[in-house]
Structure 1
Amino acid sequence: MKKIIPILIIGLFLISGSCEKNPFVEKFYTITIINQSSQMIYFLGYDKFSEIQYPDTTLPIQKPNATILGHGAKFFIDKREPWSEEIDELPADTISFFFFDKAVFEDSLWTEIKNDYLILKRYDLSLQDLENLDFNIPYPPVETMEGMQIYPPE
Structure 2
Amino acid sequence: MFCSYSCEKLADHTYILRVQNNTKDTIQVYAGYNYPDTALNVEKPILKIGYPDYETRLESKTDWKDKLQGDTLSIFILSKDTVDTYSWEDIRSEYNILKRYDMSISDLESQNWTITYP
Query: Structure 1-normalised TM-score?
Result: 0.63
**Contact 2:48–2:58, Cα closer than 8 Å, also in 1:** no
Q: State the 1:27 CA deviation.
A: 4.5
2:86 corresponds to: 108
SS of structure 2 residue aligned to 1:115: helix
Identity of aligned residues (%): 30
Shift in CA distance, 38/26, structure 1 to aligned 2, threshold 3 Å: same
Aligned to 1:69: 50
- The CA distance in 1 between the partners of 2:50 and 2:37, in whole Å, is 25
Q: Structure 1 counterpart of 2:52, which letter? A: H
Is 1:122 matched with 2:65? no
SS in 2 for 1:56: coil
> Cα distance, 1:61 vs. partner?
2.2
Distance change in 2, residues 1:132/1:62 (3 Å): same
In the TM superposition, 1:31-42 aligns within 5 A as 31-42=17-28
Structure number with higher strand proportion: 2
- C-alpha RMSD of the superposition: 2.4
The equivalences for 1:135-150 within 5 A come to: 135-140=113-118
Unmatched tracts of structure 2, length 5 or more: none
Cα deviation code 1:105-148 (max 9, x no counterpart) = 110132221111110000111011101211011111xxxxxxxx
- What TM-score do you get using the length of structure 2 for normalisation? 0.80
Higher relative contact order (CA 8 A, sep 6+): 2
| Greater C-alpha Rg | 1
Partner of 1:143: none
- Measured in 2, the distance between the counterparts of 1:34 and 1:111 equals 27
Letter in 2 for 1:103: D
Q: Given the alignment, which residue of 93, 103, 124 partners 2:71?
A: 93
Structure 1, gaps ≥5 residues long = 17-23, 48-52, 141-154
What is the count of residue pairs matched by the alignment?
116
Structure 2 partner of 1:152 = none
Which whole-Å deviations, capped at 9, do the CAs of 1:55-78 have from their partners, x for residues lacking one?
111112233321111112222234
